[in-house]
Structure 1
Amino acid sequence: MRIEYLEELKGKKNLLAFSHGTDSTALFYALLELCEFDLCLVNYQTRINSNNEEQSAIKLAKTYNKKIFTKKVNLDNNNFESNARKYRYDFFDELMQDYDNLIVAHNLNDRFEWFLMQITKGAGLCNLLGFNGIDTRKNYKIIRPLINTSKDKIMLYLNENSYEYFQDESNFNTKYKRNEIRLNYANDFVKHYANGIRNTLKYLEFDKSKICKDSLVYKGIYFCKDENSLDKAIKKLGFVSSSKQKLELKNQLNKNNEAELYFRTDCVCVCFYKGFFMVFLKAITKLSKEQKDAYRLAKVPKNLRFFLALNNIKLNELINLTKNLKSTHNNY
C-alpha cells in the first residue's frame, strides 16, 4: 500500500484523525514504522458501535504507546454532515496548536466520489477536485498519505494482515447522495480504472493550479481575485458551504456586492471592493463619527467597515494593500 508525502511527516509532530474505520486503521498500521504520530477521535454517538470503536481506539493507542484525544458529541440531525465537520475541525484546530501536521485518511475513491458529486452540481474546474494531497489550514498542514490509494488496495492490506477495523453501517445507506454515488458508481469505476483516474486527477490538479489562483490572507481578510476562490477561502475560515449557500452567496453578491453566510452561530462575510472579493468573519463594534464619514466617502461595504475598525486596520492600509496586490501579482 503506497504512502505519499512521507518526507512531510518525518521529524514532525503529527496527529492522525482516527475513526477505527477501514481507511484510518490501515493508515495507522502503515505509518507505525515510518513516522511518529498521535491520535484524535470524535465520537458522534450516532451508531451502535460508536462507543465500542472509541474504546478500541483507546486500547490500540495504549498498546502502541501513543497519545489519543477523544471527544463525545451529540449533534442535531439537521444538516448533520456540515455540523459534524465544523465540530470536528474546531476540535482539530484546538489540538493542532501543539502539532505540525494533521494526517487524514482520504483515499482515491473519496476523491473520485467528490469529483462525481461536483459534476452532478454543475461545478467548474476550480471546485471539481475538492481536497489536495497537502492543504494548508491556519497554523498547520493537512496531509493525505492515501490520496492515490484505491479502496481495494486498502482492504487488501487490512485483510492480508488480519487487522481489526470497524465498518460504519451508515456508509451503506443510499438515502444519502454521497453513498448513492459511492456504491452505485464511484467504487466500481475506480476498481476497473484506478490508474487512469489517478493520472487524470493529477493532470487536472496541475491545470487547476495554473487557472484557479488561491486566496491571499492579510489580518484575517482573504483576498480573492475571482468568485472561483471564494469557496476555498471560506473553507480556510473553517466552514463548508452547501450548494444552497453557494447559490445564495452568488445571488447576494449580484445584488449589492456584499453577502452574509451563516454557519450555526458564526457568520462569514463576503464583499467586492477595490477589485477583490474579500472574505472575513463578521465583526460587531461601534464606529466613531470620523470612521463613519471616512468609510462612507470611500464607499466601503458595511460589514467590511466593522471588521476594519475592530481589527485596527486603517483604510489607507487596506487601499494600499489592494494596489500592491494588483501590481505585484499580475498573474494572481
Structure 2
Amino acid sequence: MKVGGSNPLERIKIIKKLLTKLIKKLIKCVVYLMTILNKINKIIKEKQHFLLSYSGGLDSTVLLHLMIKLREIKNIHLRAIHINHRLHKESTLWSNHCQEKCKKYNIPIIINNITIHQTKNNMESYYRNIRYQLIYKNILPQETLLTAHHLNDQCETFLLALKRGSGPTGLSCMPVYKKNGNITHMRPLLNISQDTIKKWAKKHQLKWIEDPSNSNIKYDRNFIRKKIIPILQKRWPFFIKNCSRSAKICNEQEQVIDLFLEPIVQKNTLFDNSLNITYLKKINKELRNIILRKWIIKNGVQQTPSYNGINRIYTDIINNNKTSTPKISFKKYEIKKYKNTIHLVQPIMPSMKHIILFWHDTSLPLSLPNQLGQIINNNTGMKIPYPKKSTLINIRFQANGTFYIDGYTYKIKLKNIWKMFNLPYWKRENIPLLFYDDILISALGVFVTRHSNLNFNKYWYLSWQNNITKNKNYI
C-alpha cells in the first residue's frame, strides 16, 4: 500500500488513520460473527449432536459455515446429509462439491440419490416428502436435524398459506423448534433475512451452488419469491419481517387454543383414535370446526382439509342420517363414520378376501400381507384350543355362516359378531381369521369360537402383533 505525502509526520497520521479504520472493520466483523453465533447458540442450547441438511446452496452453505465456527468454541458433533434429486445434468457435480467441502472441514456426509417417479401431485411437495423420509431414515437417535430456512422462506410460506385460504394453524408457518415424533428439527436461521445470509457468504468468500430451477416461476414458491415479494418489499421495506411477526402471533394464538381444547379433544378421542361425535352435535360451528382440525392433526396429518372440507365433515358425515356408511376423501385420507364415532383412514389396502396363508411351522412367526404385522405362538396371547395332529392351520380374511362364540349359548352371524365388538366395516376384512382345516377357530384379538370336536384339554397362546386398532393405516 502506498501512502502519499513527503512529510514523515503526515505519512504517520495517514497510516494511523488507515490502521484505525481497518481495526474498526475487523472488530465490527468479529462482533457481527459473535452476534450470529450467539443467536444460533441460544437456539441449540444444550444440544451437541447435529445432522445438517446440506444442499450446497447459499443458505445451507452459510449454516454449515456457522456451525463450523460454533464448533471452534463449543463441543458439538456435526454430520451432513446431501440429497441428490438428479433433476439437473450437473447434480453429480453438486454432490461432489458438498462432499469436498465436508471433507475439508472433517465433517462426515451422507449422499442419497432420489429415484425420479412421474407423479400428478405437486412436485415440490413430492420431493420435499421424499427428502425428509431419507433424512429421517439416516438421522441418529441423539441427533438434532438442522435446516437452513430463513426469514424470506417464512414470508413465502405465509403467502402460500394465504393462497390456500389457510386459517391460523396454516398461517403459523414454520417454527424455529419442532418435534416430529422422536426427531427434533431446528431452523437456526429462521429470524435472519436472506440479504444478511448473502452478505455473510460474500464477506467470508464462501462458494455455493446456484440451482437454475430456483428461478423457474412455474413453481408457486419461486413465483412468490421472484415476482411478488420484490414488489411488496419495494413498497413496504418491513413486509418480510412483519409476515414473520404475523406468523408468530398466529402460532402463539394456536398454542393458547391448544391449552384450552386439548382436554376436550382428549376426552372425546377413543382408544383407537376415533372421535366421539355426540359432543360435536351440541356445540356451535366455530368450536366444532377447531376441534375437528385438532383431532385430524393429532392423528398425524400435517395438512388439514380446507375450510369447506371441514364443514363437509359435519354435513356429509356427522349429520348424515341417510347413508349408512358415509365418507369423504381428502389428500390420501378418508374420514368415515361408524355409529357415534368418526375415523381417519388411509385407504391403501387391496382386498384380501381370497387370501389363504398356511402356517406349517408354528414355532416361527407368520407374516401377514399389507403390513398387518405377524402372528406369534407365545405365552401371552389369546388362549385357543390346541389343534389336533395333522390339522392344516391356516389364516384367512373372510368367513361365512353362523358361529358359537365364548360367552354365548346360541349361534350368531359373523356380521352381527363384528357389530357386537363395535368393529367398523372397513376393519373387518383386515382381521386375521384362524382356521383348523375349514373350521373357523378365532378372529385373532377379537373372539374364539366353540366346537364340540376340538381338544379343550390342551391350549396354546397366539398374539397378533401390530394390532389393527393400533395401526394408524387402518384406524
Same fold (TM over 0.5): yes
Is the alpha carbon distance of 1:11 and 1:211 closer, same or farther for their aligned partners in structure 2, counting shifts above 3 Å?
closer
Give the conservation status (yes or no) of the 8 Å contact 1:222–1:280. Answer: no
CA apart distance, 1:208: 1.9
Q: Give the aligned length.
A: 307
- Any residues of structure 2 matched to 1:39-118 within 5 Å, and which? 39-78=80-119, 79=121, 80-118=123-161
Q: Which residue of 1 aligns with 2:8?
A: none
2:56 counterpart letter in structure 1 = H
* Larger Cα-atom Rg: 2
SS in structure 2 opposite 1:74?
coil
Q: Deviations over 1:285-306 (max 9, x none)?
A: 5489879656524655444665
Which consecutive residues of structure 2, in runs of 5 or more, have no partner in the other structure?
Answer: 1-35, 71-75, 277-289, 318-324, 350-369, 373-396, 406-413, 432-444, 447-463, 471-475
Give the conservation status (yes or no) of the 8 Å contact 1:126–1:228. Answer: no
Q: Deviations over 1:39-88 (max 9, x none)?
A: 00110111133111110111111111111011112313533223212221
Q: Deviations over 1:195-244 (max 9, x none)?
A: 4333333222211212256888999959797332366457x46x76898x
- Any residues of structure 2 matched to 1:201-216 within 5 Å, and which? 201-211=247-257
Q: Which residue of 2 aligns with 1:296?
A: 419
CA apart distance, 1:18: 0.8
Q: Which moved more, 1:123-132 or 1:186-195?
A: 186-195
Q: Which residue of 1 aligns with 2:292?
A: 227
SS in structure 2 opposite 1:32?
helix
Q: Which residue of 2 aligns with 1:171?
A: 214
Give the conservation status (yes or no) of the 8 Å contact 1:14–1:102. Answer: yes
CA distance, structure 1, for counterparts of residue 200 and residue 112 of structure 2: 29
2:201 counterpart letter in structure 1 = L
CA apart distance, 1:173: 1.0
CA apart distance, 1:99: 3.8
CA distance, structure 2, for counterparts of residue 169 and residue 67 of structure 1: 27
Q: Deviations over 1:264-301 (max 9, x none)?
A: xxxx5545679886546567554898796565246554
- Any residues of structure 2 matched to 1:129-148 within 5 Å, and which? 129-148=172-191
2:88 counterpart letter in structure 1 = R
CA apart distance, 1:249: 8.4
SS in structure 1 opposite 2:139?
helix
CA distance, structure 2, for counterparts of residue 271 and residue 70 of structure 1: 41
1:22 counterpart letter in structure 2 = L
TM-score (structure 1 length as normaliser): 0.75
> Relative contact order (alpha carbons < 8 A, sep ≥ 6): 1 or 2 greater?
1
2:187 counterpart letter in structure 1 = R
Is the alpha carbon distance of 1:121 and 1:138 closer, same or farther for their aligned partners in structure 2, counting shifts above 3 Å?
same
CA apart distance, 1:9: 5.5
CA distance, structure 1, for counterparts of residue 187 and residue 274 of structure 2: 24
TM-score (structure 2 length as normaliser): 0.54
CA apart distance, 1:15: 0.2
Q: Deviations over 1:162-181 (max 9, x none)?
A: 10011111111111122111
1:157 counterpart letter in structure 2 = W
Give the conservation status (yes or no) of the 8 Å contact 1:111–1:129. Answer: no
Name the one with the larger helix percent. 1
Is the alpha carbon distance of 1:176 and 1:313 closer, same or farther for their aligned partners in structure 2, counting shifts above 3 Å?
closer
CA apart distance, 1:141: 0.6
1:125 to 168, 171, 176: 168
Give the conservation status (yes or no) of the 8 Å contact 1:4–1:145. Answer: yes
State the superposition RMSD in angstroms.
3.9
- Any residues of structure 2 matched to 1:19-58 within 5 Å, and which? 19-34=55-70, 35-58=76-99
% of aligned pairs identical? 21
